[in-house]
């Protein structure tokens, strides 16, 4: 009996070690069938916000939010969520910070360059969240505002999001910059970057962990790799951010390029801040992982110029059918039925005013349904004319499978775009406006998006709204696939300042394999 119990405990422990967090059936209960699994809320999540701006006339608002009820059923503690200032390293060029030296006096010097990583001067938490369902905001006008490293646990971890919105009143970077602070990972793709003389693009690399991360940066232009060794072995010290000016990585200026960020050791958060001498500035968030198809949602109906930048990062070329999902159905942009992407080479196509005054989303699919060549794509979108133009970026994004959230919405100026890209597969979507940061009652509305169309809506607002609020998008069970984006429009005089954030699924829950008793595991 004692030997039998020992074997059973050992088998259960081994299975739990393989699967991670496992639910073990209690004695006397009915175990689930082999292959069964349970979807549970995540118990910890991380976000990284890059330094917002170096402008003396910029103001940044941070808005943190966790959806109400996202952790329903979770057996966990109440939860915490907060961001802390990260350390800084001056703008890095090629190969900066390759090796870590010894620490002295609270700083860390790199052995090969003598550059110094400086810890943050302020360690006060930023936008700490104490309850789900109500956003928390704070603002700063500091030109040296640091990057932020944050984590949430317990009931606040599922769906935790932080929006960073910056208004720059004047100068080359004037306009509205918006970013949903990214999660740390080991690889990122950024189609749409530039190393041309009229652009200054910085990629900000932020390390959330206690050990250094080692990152390689690869640029791909129209003829292939723009690299060499310039972007290799960049060390990002623990809890520190390193900005890298992309034009320092190559001697060949490229108007349209794709950046690949690859962490060979550790993990980082990555986002590109792009500044154009005529078109203002905005954040370019990472695109969805390369896949045979791509959906780029939320092109503004009054866009005056749209540029598609795409890359086939694999070993095979890709041939794509290009379609625009309009409010009435899928159409083919004039003169662009298909697009051929050569492996490793960035292709750019000007679509001009492709939306023609209507809401639209770009849908890229293989011309051969069986083709598997992955692609990565993004749009640079411009509103306005002449000297009053402003740009924003829309990368390919993941579908909303369970839930997605956009924070920092006000009484006006927000547009929610929902696209159901597959013809004949309608999507029914529940949209909830949260309570306001300073007051208001949540409101929920349901929308139907016909297959093959884009629906632009003036989103619901909380009753008695005070402050800002968050929008939560949840497809109903059985709906067709749906993608989403949110545009913020906050004009600055004659400039139609705006920013667009895609709303990928928040991955606030995970499928956990179920472990049950299996007497066949017992051996004598």
What's the pLDDT score for residue 229? 63
| 448-452: long-range pairs with CB below 8 Å, 24+ | 449/418, 449/419, 449/420, 449/482, 450/329, 450/420, 450/426, 451/420, 451/421, 451/422, 451/423, 451/424, 451/425, 451/426, 451/427, 451/480, 452/325, 452/329, 452/330, 452/420, 452/421, 452/422, 452/423, 452/424
Q: Are strands 23-24 and 509-515 parallel, antiparallel or unpaired?
A: parallel
| Cβ atoms 362, 396 nearer than 8 A | no
Of 62-71, 370-379, 470-479, which range is least confident? 62-71
- How many residues comprise the chain? 524
pLDDT band at 119 (very low <50, low <70, confident <90, very high): confident
What's the pLDDT score for residue 77? 61
Please list the residue range(s) of the chain that carry CATH number 2.60.290.11: 294-507
Mean local confidence (pLDDT), 201-223:
97
* Percent share of the chain, pLDDT over 90: 78
pLDDT band at 1 (very low <50, low <70, confident <90, very high): very low
pLDDT band at 319 (very low <50, low <70, confident <90, very high): very high
pLDDT band at 519 (very low <50, low <70, confident <90, very high): low
Q: Is the pLDDT of residue 96 over 90?
A: no
Mean local confidence (pLDDT), 328-341:
95
Task: Give the global pTM.
Answer: 0.88
Q: Is the pLDDT of residue 170 over 50?
A: yes
Chain position carrying tokens 């801040």: 273
Q: Is the pLDDT of residue 228 over 90?
A: no
What's the pLDDT score for residue 426? 98
pLDDT band at 71 (very low <50, low <70, confident <90, very high): low
Mean pLDDT for the chain overall: 88
232-268: per-residue pLDDT in tens? 999 999 999 999 999 999 988 999 999 999 999 999 9
**For residue 51, what are its two tokens?**
């330094």
pLDDT band at 390 (very low <50, low <70, confident <90, very high): very high
Q: What is the dihedral angle through the alpha carbons of 160, 65, 84, 217, rounded to the nearest 10 degrees?
A: 50
Mean local confidence (pLDDT), 55-61:
96
Q: Is the pLDDT of residue 379 over 80?
A: yes
What's the pLDDT score for residue 101? 36
139-168: per-residue pLDDT in tens? 999 999 999 999 999 999 999 999 999 999
Domain 294-507 fold is Hypothetical Protein Tm1070; Chain: A (2.60.290)
Which span out of 60-64, 168-172, 383-387, 508-512 was modeled with the highest average pLDDT? 60-64
């Amino acid at each position: 009996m004692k030997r039998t119990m020992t074997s059973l405990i050992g088998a259960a422990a081994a299975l739990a070690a393989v699967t991670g967090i496992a639910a073990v059936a209690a004695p006397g209960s009915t175990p689930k069938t082999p292959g069964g699994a349970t979807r549970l809320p995540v118990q910890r999540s991380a976000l990284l916000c890059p330094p917002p701006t170096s402008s003396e006339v910029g103001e940044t608002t941070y808005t943190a939010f966790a959806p109400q009820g996202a952790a329903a059923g979770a057996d966990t503690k109440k939860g915490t969520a907060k961001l802390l200032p990260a350390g800084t390293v001056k703008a890095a060029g090629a190969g900066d910070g390759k090796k870590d030296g010894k620490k002295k006096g609270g700083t860390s010097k790199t052995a090969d360059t003598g550059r110094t990583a400086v810890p943050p001067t302020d360690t006060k938490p930023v936008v700490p969240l104490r309850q789900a369902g109500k956003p928390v905001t704070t603002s700063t006008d500091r030109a040296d505002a640091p990057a932020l490293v944050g984590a949430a646990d317990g009931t606040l971890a599922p769906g935790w999001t932080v929006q960073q919105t910056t208004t720059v009143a004047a100068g080359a970077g004037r306009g509205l910059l918006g970013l949903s602070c990214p999660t740390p990972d080991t690889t990122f793709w950024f189609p749409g970057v530039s190393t041309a003389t009229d652009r200054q693009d910085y990629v900000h690399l932020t390390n959330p962990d206690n050990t250094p991360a080692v990152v390689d940066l690869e640029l791909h232009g129209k003829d292939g790799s723009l690299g060499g060794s310039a972007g290799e072995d960049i060390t990002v010290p623990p809890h520190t951010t390193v900005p890298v000016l992309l034009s320092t990585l190559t001697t060949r200026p490229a108007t349209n390029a794709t950046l690949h960020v690859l962490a060979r050791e550790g993990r980082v958060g990555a986002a590109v801040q792009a500044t154009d001498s005529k078109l203002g500035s905005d954040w370019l968030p990472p695109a969805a992982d390369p896949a045979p198809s791509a959906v780029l949602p939320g092109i503004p109906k009054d866009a005056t110029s749209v540029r598609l930048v795409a890359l086939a990062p694999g070993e095979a070329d890709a041939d794509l059918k290009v379609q625009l999902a309009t409010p009435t159905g899928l159409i083919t942009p004039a003169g662009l039925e298909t697009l051929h992407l050569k492996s490793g080479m960035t292709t750019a196509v000007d679509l001009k005013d492709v939306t023609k005054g209507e809401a639209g989303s770009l849908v890229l699919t293989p011309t051969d349904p069986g083709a598997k060549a992955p692609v990565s794509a993004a749009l640079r979108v411009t509103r306005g004319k002449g000297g009053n133009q402003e740009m924003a970026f829309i990368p390919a994004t993941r579908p909303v499978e369970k839930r997605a959230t956009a924070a920092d919405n006000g009484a006006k100026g927000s547009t929610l775009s929902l696209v159901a890209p597959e013809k004949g597969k309608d999507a029914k979507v529940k949209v909830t406006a949260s309570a306001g940061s300073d007051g208001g009652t949540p409101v929920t509305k349901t929308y139907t998006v016909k297959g093959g169309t884009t629906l632009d809506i003036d989103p619901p607002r909380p009753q008695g709204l005070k402050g800002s609020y968050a929008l939560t998008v949840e497809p109903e069970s059985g709906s067709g696939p749906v993608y989403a984006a949110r545009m913020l429009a906050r004009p600055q005089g004659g400039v139609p300042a705006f920013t667009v954030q895609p709303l990928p699924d928040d991955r606030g829950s995970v499928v956990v394999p179920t472990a049950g008793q299996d007497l066949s595991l017992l051996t004598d």
